[in-house]
């Protein structure tokens, strides 16, 4: 962990001291100023972050309606230009796969490859506002495709290749792409997996001009489609100076998709300028990722954390990417990577950390971890036991930063700050420029008990729109229908007197036995302490005019769910939470449904046990698991 005085957040506090009047150690004063004085704050961000572009005269124009606030109304920039500047011989990307492949790309080589693809796409007729879709692995070709699309001012949208044909076409065909960049196959844990059925499904649902395949030759199974290998597509073009399209704030960079567990995924349109400045703020100030920081995040190209990772190039960080099974060929695979590549900032999911703990892995004993100074965790709440595991079994002098935001903003509301202490189970703070609060059912601000997470002000990475939602009705319904004029994010969160936050789960799956709202994360925190339980999911079942809590547990191999184990689980929950958290039923299952980003799908379980049909099982990574929850006798069916 760096000394506070050496961090970018400290320097920024000094840079803006004339405005907020606080000392560099006083994050609360700095944060209060950032939401009280948005013109000064956003102007200073542009300058301190060294944004490349035309700033314009104003940084902020307020409005009573949050969606009508304008950021940098006279500014113009290009996202890719900011990531590709200083194209020298320093390493930009180190790409790993689980089959042992390791490749590198310098900043100059990255610029050259993007240049070639920009020329090829423009010759294809791809212009500002056109869509480039992708079914790609987390590898350097995906980053080249993303940056080439951004350089033109076109719009990027990607899925990972593990999305099945329906899941991919449900997403990508909504946005009418002109070009598809795809891997015809990929390897995972020693197996080669064919992607051609998914490519065909997208091609059948879209009017594609071109399909660019990442590989040496076109699969004969795709011969009837307008396919070309990436090498052949780039071959006519020599690398040269890229003509970047500088565009205003309302120019889109990317379309991301909601999970789609309750219907077809929403197409969320994000601003190039908004994401660039928001990501740079988070990466530099809150994560202290700067020039040549070795930065890793375990993600796929179907998760917003991939877009967030790629923005590290704007800090001239060295990106370490990984594609495949994180525990292949052995459980230490990513830990080995930390030592091999001198990773300083290691990003992952709470699920990965929990799995390492369940495996009994002790990295502090088995590995050096000399370079590691920060661990980032997201995807689900990081429970206190996981904080303790990281500090006791990984490394004691690191910053553990649990971060939370979402696909909706492709950024973070809550996260870390190198100036603040870390408290077990807490996210350290609301991020600069984010006016975060928690509200009760009546819209009153509360502290010390769970409430609805809201953002009271407009922020840089609010979506521009939903695709094909011309009147903005779906957008309004998604975020502003709960509390008029205030962004309600759908998380059930507790604000602490320390300034930190505890996430109790999603508010749309909040339990409500006896009319008392309970966050599922409060149950998981206790169940995770039971060594016999591998993972669990808690849902509310409508029962006799009320709701009762049902806990499903996946047990470790060789363990049976007897009365003694049920009693232990209930006692832990009662002692660590409240009697209302104790489930009415505990039922063993062989699998827990998960979304493709690795999150437990409480919605899928809840709807299935109530006999409701799931509208989009393609959003699940393991849709076959849902059958386990149908017509369970113990639930009274």
CB–CB of 295/309 below 8 Å?
Answer: yes
Beta strands 131-135 and 179-182, pairing class: parallel
In this structure, is residue 557 part of a structural domain? yes
| pLDDT score at 511 | 81
| pLDDT score at 506 | 74
pLDDT tens by residue, 183-235: 999 999 999 999 999 999 999 999 999 999 998 888 888 989 999 999 999 99
Q: For residue 154, which phi and psi values (nearest 5 degrees)?
A: -80, 180
**Could you say which of 59, 84, 102 is where a domain stops?**
59
Coil, helix or strand at residue 581: helix
CB–CB of 413/453 below 8 Å?
Answer: yes
Share of the chain above pLDDT 90, in %: 78
Coil, helix or strand at residue 628: helix
153 phi-psi bin (left φ>0, alpha ψ -120 to 50, beta other): left
- Where are any strands of DSSP class E within 564-609? 585-588
| pLDDT score at 517 | 66
In this structure, is residue 52 part of a structural domain? yes
**Could you say which of 59, 87, 105 is where a domain stops?**
59
In this structure, is residue 44 part of a structural domain? yes
In this structure, is residue 600 part of a structural domain? yes
In this structure, is residue 466 part of a structural domain? no
In this structure, is residue 111 part of a structural domain? no
| pLDDT score at 516 | 66
- The Cα 608–Cα 620 span in angstroms is 13
| pLDDT score at 205 | 95
Residues of the chain with pLDDT under 50: none
Domain count, the chain: 2
In this structure, is residue 94 part of a structural domain? no
DSSP 41-99: HHHHHHHHTT--EE--S-SEE--SSGGG-EESTT-EE-HHHHHH-S--SSEEEEEEETT
| pLDDT score at 599 | 82
| pLDDT score at 352 | 93
**Could you say which of 41, 59, 77 is where a domain stops?**
59
CATH, residue 615:
3.30.300.30
What are the residues whose beta carbons fall under 8 Å from the beta carbon of 453, sequence distance 6 or more?
Answer: 413, 436, 437, 438, 488, 489, 490, 491, 492, 493, 507
| pLDDT score at 522 | 77
3-class SS letters over 291-346: CCCEEEECCCCCCHHHHHHHHHHHHCCEEEEEECCCCCCCCCHHHHHHHHHCCCEE
Give yes or no for a cis peptide into 185 (omega within 30° of 0): no
Is the pTM for the entire model greater than 0.85? yes
CB–CB of 195/185 below 8 Å?
Answer: yes
In this structure, is residue 50 part of a structural domain? yes
- The Cα 183–Cα 194 span in angstroms is 9
Structural domain range at position 41: 4-59
| pLDDT score at 279 | 98
């Amino acid at each position: 962990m760096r000394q506070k005085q050496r961090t970018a957040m400290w320097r920024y506090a000094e840079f803006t001291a004339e405005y907020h009047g606080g000392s560099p150690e006083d994050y609360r004063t700095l944060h209060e100023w950032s939401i009280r004085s948005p013109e000064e704050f956003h102007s200073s961000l542009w300058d301190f972050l060294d944004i490349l572009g035309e700033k314009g005269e104003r940084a902020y124009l307020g409005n009573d309606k949050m969606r009508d606030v304008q950021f940098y109304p006279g500014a113009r920039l290009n996202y890719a230009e900011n990531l590709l500047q200083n194209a020298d011989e320093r390493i930009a990307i180190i790409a790993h796969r689980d089959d042992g492949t390791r490749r590198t790309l310098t900043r100059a080589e990255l610029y050259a490859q993007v240049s070639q693809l920009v020329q090829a796409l423009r010759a294809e007729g791809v212009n500002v506002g056109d869509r480039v879709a992708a079914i790609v692995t987390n590898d350097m070709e995906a980053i080249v495709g993303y940056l080439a699309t951004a350089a033109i001012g076109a719009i990027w949208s990607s899925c990972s290749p593990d999305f099945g044909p329906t899941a991919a076409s449900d997403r990508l065909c909504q946005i009418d792409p002109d070009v598809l960049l795809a891997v015809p196959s990929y390897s995972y844990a020693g197996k080669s997996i064919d992607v051609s059925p998914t490519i065909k499904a997208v091609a059948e649902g879209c009017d594609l001009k071109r399909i660019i395949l990442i590989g040496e030759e076109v699969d004969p199974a795709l011969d009837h489609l307008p396919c070309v290998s990436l090498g052949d597509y780039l071959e006519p073009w020599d690398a040269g100076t890229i003509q970047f399209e500088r565009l205003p704030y309302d120019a889109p960079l990317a379309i991301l998709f909601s999970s789609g567990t309750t219907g077809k995924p929403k197409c969320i349109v994000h601003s190039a300028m908004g994401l660039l400045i928001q990501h740079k703020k988070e990466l530099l100030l809150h994560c202290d990722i700067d020039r040549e920081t070795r930065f890793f995040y375990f993600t796929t190209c179907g998760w917003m954390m991939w877009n967030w990772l790629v923005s590290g190039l704007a800090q001239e960080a060295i990106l370490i990417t990984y594609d495949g099974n994180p525990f292949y060929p052995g459980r230490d695979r990513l830990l080995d990577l930390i030592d091999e590549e001198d990773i300083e900032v290691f990003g992952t999911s709470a699920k990965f950390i929990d799995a390492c703990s369940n495996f009994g892995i002790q990295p502090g004993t088995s590995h050096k971890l000399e370079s590691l100074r920060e661990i980032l965790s997201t995807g689900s709440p990081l429970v206190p036991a996981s904080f303790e595991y990281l500090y006791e079994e990984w490394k004691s002098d690191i910053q553990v930063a649990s971060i939370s935001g979402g696909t909706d903003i492709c950024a973070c509301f809550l996260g870390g700050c190198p100036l603040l202490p870390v408290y077990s189970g807490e996210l350290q703070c609301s991020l600069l420029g984010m006016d975060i609060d928690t509200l009760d059912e009546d819209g009153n601000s509360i502290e010390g008990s769970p409430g609805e997470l809201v953002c009271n002000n407009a922020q840089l990475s609010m979506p521009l729109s939903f695709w094909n939602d011309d009147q903005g009705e779906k957008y309004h319904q998604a975020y502003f229908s709960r509390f008029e004029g205030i962004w309600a994010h759908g998380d059930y969160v507790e604000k602490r007197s320390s300034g930190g936050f505890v996430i109790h789960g999603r508010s749309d799956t909040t339990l409500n036995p006896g009319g008392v709202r309970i966050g599922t994360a409060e149950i998981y925190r206790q169940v995770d302490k039971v060594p016999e339980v591998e993972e669990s999911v808690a849902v509310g079942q409508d029962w006799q005019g009320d709701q009762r809590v049902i806990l499903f547990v996946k047990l470790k191999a060789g363990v049976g769910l007897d009365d003694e184990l049920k009693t232990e689980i209930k006692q832990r929950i009662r002692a660590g939470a409240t009697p209302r958290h104790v489930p009415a039923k505990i039922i063993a299952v062989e699998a827990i449904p998960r979304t493709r980003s690795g999150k437990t799908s409480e919605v899928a379980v809840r709807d299935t046990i109530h006999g409701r049909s799931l509208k989009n099982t393609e959003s699940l990574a393991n849709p076959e698991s849902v059958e386990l929850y149908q017509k369970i006798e113990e639930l009274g069916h």
